[in-house]
Amino acid sequence: MLRLELPWTEPAELAPRLFGWPGFVWLDSASSGHGQGRYSYISANPISRFRWGDGDFAEEFGGAFRAWRNRFRASVIAGGAPFQGGAIGYMSYDAAKIWMRDFRSRHPDSADDTIEFALYDTVMAFDHFERRLTIYSAGLPGPDKAPDKALAQQRIRAFAEVVEHQDDQSKEIIESSTDWSLSSDQAKYVDHVAAVREAILDGEIYQANIASLWVRKAPSQTSAFHDYLELRKQTQAPFSAFGTFAGRTLSSLSPERLVSMTSEGNVRAEPIKGTARRSTDPERDRDIARALARSEKDRAENIMIVDLLRNDLSRVCQPESVIVSRLCDLEKLPNLHHLVSTIEGQLAPACDVLDLLGAVFPGGSVTGAPKLRAMEIIDALEPAARGAFCGSFGYLGFDDACDFNIMIRTIDHLPDGDRYWSGAGLTLLSDAEAEWAEVQLKAERILSLQSPVAAIQ
């Protein structure tokens, strides 16, 4: 592994210069002041791709994915960025059937079980806290499939030229597409709340996360990217990401981590349950935060998901290593307050990162509990298969370190149009009007984008 340190440049300045490169991806800690927002990563020109889905046999996924990754191995530099190259990609929500064999969707025509990853040998790592920009490259694959120093140097130079090149090009104004239409109305969502409450009273579940779907005509890929540039400034979500893949483009403004793991096997999950709109008035904002922190409904919902994730992690972590290191902690984003908990553990020696992902995917905060029955109720009530929504986007490094978000607040750009979902966790204490208001709150920044965006040409 080679590296080159360069003068600090904001990733938002470099991303437009690299956007046109094949396989462009940006793991974007848009809120660099957030405790989880230390690192961002940009890469392009992957050396290999992996795609699963469209009828592939679920039982063959693990072997196929492990074999693909094992073709590309490299050492990493101690003390460097947590991710220095490896696989970046996403898992669609319906890919859960790989690990949850009893889950069957009633939407076979729209079900999307796609998993797509690409192998990135060269990565730009941005340390927002220390304001350090480092380019890493392993030089894979060399003539004998081993890392090649000359190839690594060549790739680093190509990325360094992008940093050193100062764009002095004109800008073209690209109008954002805003003609979103809602697939179901408030009355339908009120019916969904009633159905979930009935399932809870019948003892089937404790809670379920039910979402509404918005659709619009597909904009150009360039327009989608520049919409993302504007949205990231507004939301400043620490687990944001943008990526171009074979079947779709993803714009994820996610505030939530599904799971991360260090190369030493230290595991962390951080579910969000509890959301409130912030106020521009400081005193009112403090009152809102206090009310959320004391909310019986939101705390109960959060604690239920914490219990679910403790159980999920116990399946793959060492006995008695799973702990709750923080519970219902208040976190602030520019427009929202959240309640966030942290569950930690140590991966068991017999398990690997794929076992970890299988244990926690999809995230309990976006399904409910118990997970399988909640997913069946979600599938029965929602108008279509979720696709990328509530799947995960992230990285899996050469050293097995990983970090994946939950794709909430995510626009799924598909050939036949864009999709955006927004949901709320429903419990016995849920008020239908309040839950509908939360669904709207989580969608408003995305759906209200109207400002023309200047595109670098």
DSSP-derived letter for residue 317 is: B
Residue 358 tokens, joined:
């299988």
Task: Tell me which of 10, 97, 270, 273 is the catalytic residue.
Answer: 273
31 neighbors 236 (Cβ within 8 angstroms): yes
Nearby residues of 285 by Cβ (< 8 Å), 6 or more positions away = 278, 279
453 neighbors 228 (Cβ within 8 angstroms): no
Residue 53 tokens, joined:
């889905």
Nearby residues of 118 by Cβ (< 8 Å), 6 or more positions away = 23, 25, 46, 48, 49, 50, 87, 88, 89, 245
What is the distance, to the nearest Å, from the Cα of residue 424 to the centroid of all Cα atoms in its chain? 17
Cα torsion 355, 359, 365, 367: sign: positive
Active site residue 256: yes
2-6 and 323-332 beta bridge pairing: unpaired
Q: What is d(CA 152, CA 140) in angstroms, rounded to the nearest whole number?
A: 8
Q: Could you tell me which of 273, 256, 235, 281 has the C-alpha nearest to residue 390?
A: 256
Q: What is d(CA 69, CA 52) in angstroms, rounded to the nearest whole number?
A: 14
118 neighbors 87 (Cβ within 8 angstroms): yes
Q: Which residues of 231-254 are buried (b: 16+ CB within 10 A; e: fewer)?
A: bbebbbbbbbbbbbbeebbbbbbb
Q: What are phi and psi of 296, to 5 degrees?
A: -60, -45
DSSP for 192-218, written as a single string: HHHHHHHHHHTTS-SEEEEEEEEEE--
Look up tokens 């003390």; give the residue: 79
Q: Could you tell me which of 370, 367, 364, 377 has the C-alpha nearest to residue 423?
A: 367
Active site residue 273: yes
Q: Is 73 exposed, middle or buried (0-12, 13-18, 19+ CB in 10 A)?
A: middle
Task: Tell me which of 5, 59, 233, 256 is the catalytic residue.
Answer: 256
Q: Give the chain's radius of gyration (CA, Å).
A: 21
39-43 and 25-28 beta bridge pairing: antiparallel
Where in the sequence numbering do the catalytic residues fall? 256, 273
